[in-house]
Amino acid sequence: MRTVFFVSDRTGITVEAMGRSVLSQFEGEDFRRVRLPFIDTLDKARAAAAEVRAAGAADGARPLVFSTLLDPALRAALAESGCALFDFFEAFIGPVENELQRAPTHAPGRTHGLADPAAYARRMEALRYALRTDDGVATDDYRDAELILVGVSRSGKTPTCLYLALQYGLFAANYPLTDEDLEAGELPAALVPVRERVRGLVVTAERLHRLRQERRPNSPYAELAQCQREVRLLQRLYRAERIPALDVSAMSVEEIAATLAASLARPLR
């Protein structure tokens, strides 16, 4: 098996799509895929290069690295790993053909087809799981979760779980923390056995106020004072329970999902 890295200074979604498009032209090859998003400093690029170098040593073959790094210094640092580095989509097919020593099939439409039925099936099952466990439902199924997102209402839990399922094939559930949970200042009983998989989302009170105003304008639920109170209690709970928390106030769903996926120590499926 050969390792393929998707490296980006942002979410990595574009480079992964481009890289998968190229790899889909080479039937029969078995790859281990690793995503490295947010490589936006020289230190991070050097750390990425070290990871690539280690993979090459373990595999006994040069890793393939698809990159969308804008900074030439970051690309140069990555290239020092000795990888096969492909930096442009237009240049991907030819170099990969040379590296793998086999001709591409030139079959159109493979990227969004069933070139990898197992990966497609996993994404669909992950989507069903996200829907089944949405909003604190079916907590008995949390034993199958890879991530369980918690937070107050309108903090982005549901769309993030759906995106994690569709884009990454991750089994992600979500649990809304209620006023009672926040006042208690501790994890609800359903989350205690799976606490190592729990990740908290938090937004600023001002952002939460705007989001709730769109949903229920001028309601007590959307009042700024209520939002401030919930955010304050939420952060207290995260600290008390030592729940890893992500401030998503200025992040898109894609960025939230990419950050969470990158925190998991497992290869892509």
Contacts of 19 (CB under 8 A, 6+ apart): 4, 6, 66, 86, 92
- Banded model confidence at residue 4, pLDDT cuts 50, 70, 90: very high
Task: Tell me the β-bridge partners of 199.
Answer: 149
> Is there a common fold for 2-100 and 117-262?
yes
Please give the model's pTM, rounded to 2 decimal places: 0.71
The CATH class that applies to domain 2-100 reads alpha beta
Average pLDDT in the 175-191 region?
97
Q: How far apart are CA 61 and CA 55, in angstroms?
A: 8
Record the tokens describing residue 71, joined without a space. 């900074």
Average pLDDT in the 40-52 region?
97
End-to-end CA distance of the chain: 14
CA atoms within 13 A on the CB side of 115: 20
pLDDT digits (tens, 9 = 90+) for 74-127: 989 999 999 999 875 345 556 777 888 887 665 544 544 556 788 889 999 999
Is 117-262 in CATH node 3.40.50? Answer: yes
* pLDDT at position 155: 95
Domain ranges of the chain: 2-100, 117-262
* pLDDT at position 218: 93
CA atoms within 13 A on the CB side of 58: 12
Average pLDDT in the 34-38 region?
95
Question: pLDDT > 90: what percent of the chain?
Answer: 72
- Banded model confidence at residue 69, pLDDT cuts 50, 70, 90: confident
Contact of 9 with 48, CB cutoff 8 Å: no
Task: Tell me the β-bridge partners of 175.
Answer: 150
Say whether pLDDT at 38 is over 90. yes
